[in-house]
Structure 1
Amino acid sequence: MENAAEKGGRILIVEGHPKYFVSHRLPWARAAREAGYEIHVTALKTGDGDLVREEGFRYHDLAVQDRGKNPGAEIRFLYRLYRLLRALQPDLVHFITLRSVLYGALPVRLAGVLAVLNSVTGLGFLFSENAWSVRALRWGIMQFLRAALRHPNQITTFQNPDDAEIFVSRGVVPEEQTAVTPGSGVDPSRFGYVHETAIENGQVPIVMLPTRLLWHKGVEVFVDAAQHLQRDGVDARFVIVGDTDPENPGAVPKAQIEAWADDGPVEWWGREASSEMPSVLQQAHVVCLPSHYREGVPKVLIEAASCGRPIVTTDVPGCREIVSHEETGFLVNPKDAKGLARRIQELLNNSDLRRKMGRNGRSRVENNFTAAQVADTIVECYDQLLAEAP
């Protein structure tokens, strides 16, 4: 521990999946390392640990079986997490995603960890659906969190104020122990502002949905809007970028995506395209995300705005943080394919409006949604928690 103490402290980051640490959290981890912290990483799901090691961070393999397989696997993971905490003796543990927060609440108390940072990156289907089974699960989880999140030295961060208000108003966490970060942020130099390819030169405009292919991300709503516009004679390419997630119960089956692409309403660029998002987004004329899901702040919308693309998304928590209605894009009602189509057509018919909204979106990102700003907030939380640790 002497070496870690000299550097400023040892931090264990518990992520949902290693690939999300690399795609979303690297600016935080790098900033903390530059500030003198010793960073270790683990994750709830298996695979891709080498992606973290390639970035120069120490990765600990804990998960031997992905979540949801059986209760015994879940309990064994909790025990391995507790053993890692005892062996590593971190000064602070940073749980990222609500699931990580749930898994870690008991092990950190048992292991005597002095400081905890919880990052709730969105409330997902748990606060989006109202089926009785989901309501019962939501009630049970909130009861557990109300009892579990009582660490004497903790901060809980949220990506939008709506999520923070739910936790505070329901007595899960005190307001003085909360902070709001603008999503995961983006590097504006990587997602650079690029003028759209001129439609006037004969190119067919591209309307793009870049997302994980989950039903609650509004994939079917996007397809319905595309079909509606094509029936009305609108000449545009409707492109879906992203891959499906077979482990997620809300995943759109690959066969369904292929059927839509074969029938013609949309093109599917797939996972390969999503690995080069700056150049992919720069090909779009309009970016859509008709999500009816409790997002944190969708990273892809921050990236699209950074590239100077107007956005049509839904008026739900998270999405409305990045899109200012009629300034950087349009907000429509969830599950409203006709409303989505109407706003898409409005943008396709008005290049001046597209470019104005694109410029406004870029300014909004530069002022409020950079990865550096988020990293500063996270490191400040680390500093505060360790300064107050006994």
Structure 2
Amino acid sequence: MKKLRVVVIGNQAFSLINFRGSLIRAIVEKGHEVVALAPDYNDKTKNQIKALGAVPKDYYLSRTGLNPFQDIYTFLQLFFLLRKLKPDIVLSYTVKPIIYGILAAWLARVPRRFALVTGLGYIFTSTREQERITKKLLRKLVSLLYREAFHHATRIFFQNHDDFQEFCLQGLVKREKSVLIGATGVDIKAFSPTPLVQNPITFLLVARLLREKGIYEFVEAAKRIKSKYPTNTRFLLVGGLDSNPGSIKKEEVESWVKEGVIEWPGHVGDIRAWISQASVFVLPSFYREGVPRSIQEAMAMGRPVITTDVPGCRETVIDGINGFLVPAQDVEALVQVMERFIQKPELIEKMGKESRRIAEERFDVQKINARFLHELGL
């Protein structure tokens, strides 16, 4: 097979490494060249990309900004970069890289242009009343831009059925150009089961500190549980602050730590050490996820899961088998299922084994990448 040049466009170097790293390595191992575009490289992340066998390249992107002049600059920069690189394939993921990356690739006459929808994100997540007018306007604008970008895409990949259906119903994509590819996947050898913690029963949430990730619901549930079970429960919140409009303030998180409600190490490098400390993994998100990678990792390590019955999250849990699904933003329901694990700790091991089984069946990154490579024509 001819050696091809593949450009992968992401919105953060961290996400390229952690979420697309195994796919990049798989493309390189097939004998192709990969150029990885991200806006925030440093020496460490550049070396990590090089270790995957790819070439790191910077470009400008205001990930959560709304300044149209900045976005026009991003689009033009991508166009000139792609015209210079002359790739055979472009793969873009997340909102702005999809919109500007696909359109720039089309104008630069890149032969094959692929978009990966990894959830619908902040703009498509309903939150507070006062945000709704602004969000509706942004949603309409993003939908128009998505429609134009998808029109010029060779194929559009979706991670969950809900997003696929919604975009088809809205007329943003054509079904014949769309593929339900499934989750990003996890290295089930690297994320292998570790001994379960039963004392104290430890509930772990790993996420960027956005209100839409269910942080407030987790903390409120922690307060209620700890008032009833003060000595035999522990709550870990792992994740960094974010520039997103829905980000929680550092002072607020520190106040929860000071009250003794949660422990917060911030953003961590190797999440496995923290999953190993957990009895149960919790993600009470109402964010429009793809299929949450954090849940996949916890499942691979044999942890039962509590998550919400919303798009993306519901793809990971068979209710009552490897964990529980609860309604979004329902603290009382969250408390009730947490108490089930406290009162019946044998569920932790039983459901944890099911999580590992499901992870092996559905979320093995080797199987997922093989299908991805096939769809990319590699």
Partner of 1:172: 172
Report the Cα offset of residue 6 of structure 1.
3.1
The structure 2 residue matched to 1:91, chosen from 88, 92, 110, is: 88
Runs of 4+ in 1 over 3 A off after TM superposition: 44-51, 64-67
Partner of 1:185: 185
**C-alpha distance in 2, partners of 1:267/1:308?**
22
Local SS of the residue matching 1:6: coil
The structure 2 residue matched to 1:221, chosen from 201, 214, 217, is: 217
Whether the 8 Å CA contact 1:46–1:63 is kept in 2: the answer is no
If the length of structure 2 is used for normalisation, what is the TM-score?
Answer: 0.93
The structure 2 residue matched to 1:14, chosen from 9, 17, 41, is: 9
Whether the 8 Å CA contact 2:150–2:156 is kept in 1: the answer is no
Local SS of the residue matching 2:188: coil
Partner of 2:149: 148
Local SS of the residue matching 1:141: helix
Partner of 2:205: 209
AA at the equivalent of 1:26:
G
Local SS of the residue matching 1:312: strand
Alignment of 1:67-146 (within 5 A): 68=65, 70-129=67-126, 131-146=132-147
Is structure 2 residue 342 aligned with structure 1 residue 348? yes
After alignment, is 101-110 or 338-347 more displaced? 101-110
Whether the 8 Å CA contact 2:40–2:58 is kept in 1: the answer is no
Whether the 8 Å CA contact 2:184–2:365 is kept in 1: the answer is yes
Whether the 8 Å CA contact 2:117–2:156 is kept in 1: the answer is yes
AA at the equivalent of 1:136:
L
Report the Cα offset of residue 44 of structure 1.
4.2
Partner of 1:378: 372
Local SS of the residue matching 2:261: coil
Structure 1: where are the runs of 5+ without partners? 385-390
Whether the 8 Å CA contact 1:14–1:44 is kept in 2: the answer is no
CA 1:353–1:67: 2 relative to 1, 3 Å: closer
Report the Cα offset of residue 69 of structure 1.
7.2
AA at the equivalent of 1:30:
R
Whether the 8 Å CA contact 2:122–2:287 is kept in 1: the answer is yes
**C-alpha distance in 1, partners of 2:64/2:310?**
28
Report the Cα offset of residue 204 of structure 1.
1.6
CA 1:335–1:67: 2 relative to 1, 3 Å: closer
Local SS of the residue matching 1:60: strand
AA at the equivalent of 2:307:
T
Partner of 1:388: none
Q: Identity of paired residues, percent?
A: 32
Is structure 2 residue 22 aligned with structure 1 residue 30? no
Structure 2: where are the runs of 5+ without partners? none
AA at the equivalent of 1:369:
F
Whether the 8 Å CA contact 2:92–2:102 is kept in 1: the answer is no
Partner of 1:325: 319
**C-alpha distance in 2, partners of 1:332/1:183?**
21
Report the Cα offset of residue 187 of structure 1.
0.6
**C-alpha distance in 1, partners of 2:238/2:256?**
13
If the length of structure 1 is used for normalisation, what is the TM-score?
Answer: 0.90
After alignment, is 178-187 or 362-371 more displaced? 178-187
AA at the equivalent of 1:110:
L
Partner of 1:60: 57
**C-alpha distance in 1, partners of 2:47/2:247?**
26
Local SS of the residue matching 1:294: coil
The structure 1 residue matched to 2:301, chosen from 293, 307, 332, is: 307
Q: What is the aligned residue count?
A: 371
Please tell me the root mean square deviation across aligned C-alpha atoms, in Å. Answer: 1.8
Whether the 8 Å CA contact 2:116–2:156 is kept in 1: the answer is yes
AA at the equivalent of 1:37:
H
